[in-house]
């Protein structure tokens, strides 16, 4: 074969291989983003979100890629906690929250602020500081002012108070309750509203999804705020559950009751922990998927349920390992970012008419 033909064939072969190398992944990428939870949720007009682990976002490019593809809203898992944001009395650290804001802007995602006031993750300088009630009120006000003003217009929803109620319905012990009294809750909502009147202000709680003593106490707290004219617009139900959970009808009943108060509702921290001994792996994954499906369906069935957020998204990064002692595979992607049955269950619900 003449040299010229050999060269021509080699060139043609290279071009064909390169075309496949570029086109095939591109075709898959297009398919993935067309059917992503984010795309499907946008067609339904709802926000689908995830809590963000900043260490993962900064070190694992795949994490950011899946996050941006699948979700249109984010909230920081830890970065906005007082202990990290205001570690010393005269020092703030906004590095991670600023990175999160930039990421959201680049990928057109809504950012929610979590949590502004919590009894946990309080820095040592505040826990052990010997401040008077007036000083505590001033510290709380300064903190809220600094954070809310910095992100005014960028944070659309604030979870102003987080987990202020115990399982028996009493107020959770906290440095705010001890030093200021129960009125810290009213003060916080009023201040945030003054500083950013456009932001939607939510209350966030765990184990208040089903009707019962704790849900009643949350209802009373919210009703009291409304009656006193405190600006409150919504309530977040966390949904940290085990795989044997089966209370979707109660969740719906509770959501309707809260919606009747005139509040928006969000599922804020969903994850479904697989307990050891729950059937085989396949059964556990299917039951987990069913709970994600039922919960998302419950949210879509209530017009006031405007936001559905998972506490992370990949089992590679989950709070369960550090807090519950074992990983529990509670999320919708596995550790290699492969979609689990729970992911497909959510896709199915979002496609349903």
202 in Cβ contact with 266 (< 8 Å): yes
Could you tell me if 175 and 119 are in contact, meaning their C-beta atoms sit under 8 angstroms apart? yes
Strand locations in 114-164 (E): 155-162
**Residue 163 a catalytic site member:** yes
Which residue's C-beta sits nearest to ligand G3I? 319
- Residue 118: CB minimum distance to ligand G3I, A: 7
Provide the binding-site residues for ligand G3I, judged by CB under 6 A.
77-78, 81, 120-121, 162, 206, 238, 269, 319, 323
State which residue, 85 or 349, has the beta carbon closest to ligand G3I.
85
Q: Is 34 a catalytic residue?
A: no
Shortest distance in whole angstroms from residue 221 CB to ligand G3I:
17
Residue 53 CB, shortest distance to ligand G3I, in Å, is: 7
Question: Directed axis angle between helix 184-195 and helix 133-150, to 10°?
Answer: 30
Residue with smaller CB distance to ligand G3I, 7 or 120: 120
Q: How far is the CB of 278 from ligand G3I (least distance, A)?
A: 21
Question: Rounded to whole angstroms, how far apart are CA atoms 113 and 154?
Answer: 10
Catalytic residue among 70, 77, 163, 293: 163
Selected catalytic residue, list 205, 209, 269, 293? 269
- 238 and 279 in contact (C-beta within 8 Å)? no
CB nearer to ligand G3I: pick between 108 and 322: 322
- Token pair in block for residue 192: 């945030």
Tokens of residue 60, six digits: 């694992």
Question: Considering beta carbons, is residue 39 or 78 the nearer one to ligand G3I?
Answer: 78
**Kind and range of the H or E run holding 268:** strand 264-273
Give the separation between CA 265 and CA 202, rounded to whole angstroms: 9
Instruction: Provide the annotated active-site residues.
Output: 163, 269
């Amino acid at each position: 074969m003449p040299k010229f033909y050999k060269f021509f064939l080699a060139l043609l072969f290279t071009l064909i291989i390169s075309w496949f190398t570029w086109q095939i992944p591109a075709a898959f990428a297009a398919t993935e983003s067309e059917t992503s939870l984010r795309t499907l949720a946008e067609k339904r007009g709802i926000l689908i979100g995830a809590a963000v682990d900043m260490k993962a976002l900064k070190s694992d490019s795949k994490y950011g890629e899946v996050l941006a593809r699948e979700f249109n809203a984010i909230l920081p898992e830890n970065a906005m906690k007082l202990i990290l944001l205001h570690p010393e009395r005269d020092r703030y650290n906004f590095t991670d929250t600023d990175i999160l804001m930039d990421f959201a802007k680049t990928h057109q995602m809504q950012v929610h602020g979590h949590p502004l006031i919590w009894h946990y993750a309080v820095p040592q300088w505040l826990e052990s500081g010997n401040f008077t009630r007036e000083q505590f009120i001033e510290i709380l006000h300064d903190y809220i002012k600094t954070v809310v003003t910095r992100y005014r217009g960028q944070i659309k929803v604030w979870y102003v108070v987080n987990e202020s109620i115990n399982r028996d319905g009493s107020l959770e012990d906290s440095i705010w309750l001890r030093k200021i009294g129960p009125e810290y809750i009213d003060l916080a909502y009023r201040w945030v509203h003054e500083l950013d009147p456009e932001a939607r202000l939510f209350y966030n709680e765990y184990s208040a999804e089903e009707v019962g003593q704790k849900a009643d106490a949350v209802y009373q707290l919210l009703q009291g705020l409304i009656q006193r004219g405190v600006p409150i617009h919504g309530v977040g139900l966390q949904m940290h559950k085990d795989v044997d959970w089966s209370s979707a009808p109660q969740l719906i009943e509770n959501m309707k009751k809260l919606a009747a108060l005139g509040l928006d509702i969000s599922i804020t921290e969903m994850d479904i922990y697989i307990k050891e001994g729950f059937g085989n792996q396949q059964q556990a994954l299917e039951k987990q998927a069913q709970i994600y499906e039922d919960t998302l369906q419950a949210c879509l069935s209530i017009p006031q349920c405007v936001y559905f957020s998972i506490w992370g998204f990949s089992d590679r990064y989950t709070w369960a390992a550090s807090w519950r002692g074992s990983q529990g595979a509670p999320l919708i992607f596995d550790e290699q970012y492969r979609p689990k049955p729970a992911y497909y269950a959510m896709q199915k619900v979002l496609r349903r008419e």
